[in-house]
Amino acid sequence: MRKKFVAGNWKMNKTVAEAQALATELIPGLAPLTSIERVLCPPFTALHPLAGMLQNTGIGLGAQNLYWETSGAYTAEVAPPMVAELCQYVIIGHSERRQYFGETDETVNKRVKAALAIGLTPIVCIGETLEENQAGKTAEIVSRQVRGGLADLTPPEGAKLVVAYEPVWAIGTGLAASEVDANTIHRDVVRVALAEMFGAEVAQGLQILYGGSVKPNNAANYFTQSDIDGALVGGASLKAADFVAIAQAAV
């Protein structure tokens, strides 16, 4: 049985004071939901204060990226030990990183290896663009992203990942993928690729999240599908009542 997993990606939103206020609202709603994994991913600047606030709540903390070198002259980058000091999770390869900041399957792969090496759980994002979707290339693109981003990992390393399928055209647009379409990609493309790479047993145990316009009114539809093990939530994770409602739908 795969545990349901709900993560909030706050993206480039919330000052420290605003992040603390949101966390204060979220903690009483999320802490009791012990049957699922719930994770908050604020901006880097809010990680330290939130790490303190989330102690002993059972709520995990994640960064939105990390660099693969351990230290050195890489101005503005954040190293794995710095993230691991505060967090248990890290989002890697979000489509906004791919779209605006030159992230590729190769750089995703380097970040995933660095995260695993220091004991962080990577939440690895994949997903096709609208153009690729309309050209009927979804399976090909998603499969390539899984194989490229997770290349050279051993099965025990593969077993430590979380994967998030987020069709780019569904992110922040209100145009969510249907739960049946998303489940088909999870089951027939992502889990199949994971099984070929890490073996059937590891693949069956891995959590595959859906992301892209998940809201309180559609969340339950996703969570009842066979191969949708949770959600990576953007916009709705910035409103405490909405994110708690989504997490409750996963319970």
Catalytic residues: 94, 166
- What is the CB neighbour count within 10 angstroms for residue 52? 10
Contact in structure between 180 and 199 (CB atoms under 8 Å): no
With binding defined as CB under 6 A, does residue 42 bind ligand PGA? no
Closest to ligand PGA by CB, 87 or 197: 87
Residues 190-249 that bind ligand PGA (CB under 6 A): 211-214, 232-236
| CB closer to ligand PGA, 165 vs 198 | 165
What residues between 4 and 33 interact with ligand PGA by CB under 6 A?
A: 9
Q: Is 109 in the site for ligand PGA (CB under 6 A)?
A: no
Closest-CA residue to 228 (of 137, 143, 147, 165):
165
State the Cα–Cα distance between residues 82 and 71, nearest whole angstrom. 9
Q: What is the dihedral of CA 66, 68, 72, 76, to 10 degrees?
A: -30
Burial class (CB in 10 A: 0-12, 13-18, 19+), 89: buried
Closer Cβ to ligand PGA, 9 or 121, answer by number: 9
* Tokens coding 2: 């795969």
Part of the chain binding ligand PGA (CB under 6 A), chosen from 78-86, 114-122, 137-145, 165-173: 165-173
Q: How many CA atoms lie within 13 A of 157 on its CB side?
A: 15
Q: Does 93 bind ligand PGA (CB under 6 A)?
A: no
Backbone angles phi, psi at 60, to 5 degrees: -85, 160
What is the closest distance, in whole angstroms, from the C-beta atom of residue 235 to ligand PGA in the complex?
Answer: 3
What 3-state class would DSSP assign to 195?
helix
Contact 54, 23 (CB under 8 A): yes
Q: Which residue is nearest to ligand PGA (CB)?
A: 234
Tell me: does residue 127 bind ligand PGA (CB under 6 A): no
Site size with ligand PGA, rule: CB under 6 A: 13
Q: Select 80 or 235, whichever has its Cβ closest to ligand PGA.
A: 235
Least distance to ligand PGA from the beta carbon of 195, Å?
25
Q: Is 103 in the site for ligand PGA (CB under 6 A)?
A: no
Output the smallest distance, CB 211 to ligand PGA, in A: 4
Rule CB under 6 A: say whether 175 interacts with ligand PGA: no
Does residue 90 belong to the site contacting ligand PGA (CB under 6 A)? no
Place of tokens 């999240």: 209
Beta bridge partners of 126: 165
Is residue 162 near ligand PGA by the rule CB under 6 A?
no
Which positions lie near ligand PGA, rule CB under 6 A?
9, 166, 171-172, 211-214, 232-236
